[in-house]
Structure 1
């Protein structure tokens, strides 16, 4: 009966044989080593823009999407705007938004928010009881849409840490004007934040989510046919097959960050993440797999973030595959302080860092 069920799922496009999970590939067989170059572009460009105080002056998340006309949309969550004082501090009255874009065209950067220049607001306005943080993003409809997974958080009290994740949404923007077109709910029944990464591969968009239990974080995988996350039914990886039931989604890997990446590498796949098995870790780690669903194995330390220590933390590292230079990866990570006053005293803390990572086969 079980064999007939699996064959039926495969025929319906909802399952694959379990042997696919253990497929052999060079990406996994190879022993990889990493060489790194910190302060990679566009770090200097973003730093200079931040120092100018003319718009965006710092944020986290740091996803990127290639748009038409040579543009790159940098997608950010919690965002500070200008001005910046001559001593490199922020005024206490500086605007703070929960989401924004910075659009890069060559060396020109433009901040995109909601509201007006005199009264800027988040691109997706917060509900009365919470806010939206941006996650992974991509284009759809032949590049006409810029789609961003938006996590809705809600307040549970008046304290600083009295809040919780509530639901997943898709915020769809016009990729030319950056105007919000729609905000639609996404699957949210399995306690998985489906915002870690989006991978377009083999006619599907693979959606990587994180089951965040605080001290432990687990990766989950879903997929949708085509490039529109709202147009087709979602399928969820159970460990051996694809299911239409979100609650059947299984844990793929422990220790991933809420934001990470899964990209094609060699003849397989590369997962880049901060190591969340260790509290406030400085380790950026790569895993390798032969399938978009893993298993992801043979972890290699890619980098140790030098900013980590004291009040400063680093988190949510991931790759920007469209900005690879040959086999050299571009990896970003975020820097923050556990003491919020420091973010006002020094504008340079709360800005993304970029590292070039060259992966080579060990000899």
Structure 2
């Protein structure tokens, strides 16, 4: 291969994918279901030993802590009992017995899992509660910084009676104590003036912590990149522009299209790998990867990693309403060089969640690349 390089304004060496291996996704050896991780959450969700804990959710971010625990970060979460037939009661707002909250943690300590939420077992509340019933927070990526967990959250608001009459409103940062995480230590506003949800991914690289966002226009979604010096997202933000970095959020450029609302950027085998559901096709079942020599792109060499088997009428549920979304990697999980990727499963028919609890749970795969 040619060794010719071009120095960018940011000082990082880049070139075309044909010239530099770091701009290429490694050859794919396999992408197979991670039965151990998937069954961990299946078993936990089905266990009725406690009747106030997690039975299904989406989001599925993870934060490894120095003490060995992993905080799994979830958005919409079902709690309560799973019936013998594999269903659940409707949620309490619909007259049933199933509690439902918009964000939660599941803490993994070895083989033990425990659900964390605010409030009590009789009246559970989301970890980050909204100001009123017309608003809610969905969780984004989170990380450990200076002894606390910093989690990005997106506030949404309802503006009408229709099922889809809601919209993104703003971004916030919630800081949690790992020792007592059932409510935030503090909540801080994050940049929200450019219509970008800064919650898709967080990645430490060199002296900076990079924050990845999505500009969600419905049928089109664009990746944006910001960064903060050091580890805390409370620092001064800089935004990726066409020529470098700016302190003005309005200068943030669209780095690329086709990402999900949740994705990941992680260092793997000499390059930065972006893993995402492919949103260039509506309701795509494909999880794809891109590569870059820098944490801020350009991301190239689009490669299909996996086709989710649950999706659509031809999928494992035989249901056109079932879809998969928001794939991202968990690079801290050790699979002998394999990269663990999670994705979420959902359905457009709300009552399906009551008939079959298995739908709305995370799935995990392990992706292996050529050396």
Same fold (TM over 0.5): yes
Q: Does 1:329 pair with 2:359?
A: no
Moved over 3 A (4+): 19-25
- For the residues of structure 2 that align with 1:149 and 1:40, how far apart are their CA atoms? 29
Residues 220 and 279 in structure 2, CA contact (< 8 A), matched pair in contact too: yes
> Which residue of structure 2 lines up, in the alignment, with residue 16 of structure 1?
10
> Which residue of structure 2 lines up, in the alignment, with residue 308 of structure 1?
311
Q: Does 1:135 pair with 2:140?
A: yes
> Which residue of structure 2 lines up, in the alignment, with residue 78 of structure 1?
76
Residues 25 and 291 in structure 2, CA contact (< 8 A), matched pair in contact too: no
Q: Which moved more, 1:337-346 or 1:265-274?
A: 265-274
Alpha-carbon RMSD: 1.6
> Which residue of structure 2 lines up, in the alignment, with residue 51 of structure 1?
46
Consecutive unaligned residues of structure 1, counting only runs of 5 or more, are 1-9
Cα distance change on mapping 1:208 and 1:20 into 2, 3 Å: same
Consecutive unaligned residues of structure 2, counting only runs of 5 or more, are 1-7, 91-95, 313-319
- Which deviations, in whole Å up to 9, do the C-alpha atoms of 1:163-204 show, x marking residues without a partner? 110000001111111031011100011111000100011011
- For the residues of structure 2 that align with 1:22 and 1:224, how far apart are their CA atoms? 25
Match of 1:118 among 117, 122, 140: 122
Shift of 1:82: 1.3
- For the residues of structure 1 that align with 2:158 and 2:13, how far apart are their CA atoms? 43
Residues 223 and 256 in structure 2, CA contact (< 8 A), matched pair in contact too: yes
Shift of 1:318: 0.4
- For the residues of structure 2 that align with 1:268 and 1:36, how far apart are their CA atoms? 19
- For 1:343, what is the secondary structure of its paired residue? helix
Residues 26 and 369 in structure 2, CA contact (< 8 A), matched pair in contact too: no
- For the residues of structure 2 that align with 1:318 and 1:34, how far apart are their CA atoms? 19
> Which residue of structure 2 lines up, in the alignment, with residue 87 of structure 1?
85
> Which residue of structure 2 lines up, in the alignment, with residue 103 of structure 1?
107
Match of 2:224 among 217, 220, 227: 220
Aligned length: 344
- Which deviations, in whole Å up to 9, do the C-alpha atoms of 1:12-57 show, x marking residues without a partner? xxx625x745476422256522401214332111101111143100
Cα distance change on mapping 1:294 and 1:324 into 2, 3 Å: farther
Match of 1:155 among 142, 155, 158: 158
- For 1:41, what is the secondary structure of its paired residue? helix
> Which residue of structure 2 lines up, in the alignment, with residue 3 of structure 1?
none
- For the residues of structure 2 that align with 1:39 and 1:265, how far apart are their CA atoms? 19
- For the residues of structure 2 that align with 1:88 and 1:110, how far apart are their CA atoms? 21
> Which residue of structure 1 lines up, in the alignment, with residue 285 of structure 2?
282
- For 1:42, what is the secondary structure of its paired residue? helix
- For the residues of structure 2 that align with 1:27 and 1:41, how far apart are their CA atoms? 31
Q: Does 1:294 pair with 2:292?
A: no
Q: Which moved more, 1:28-37 or 1:81-90?
A: 28-37
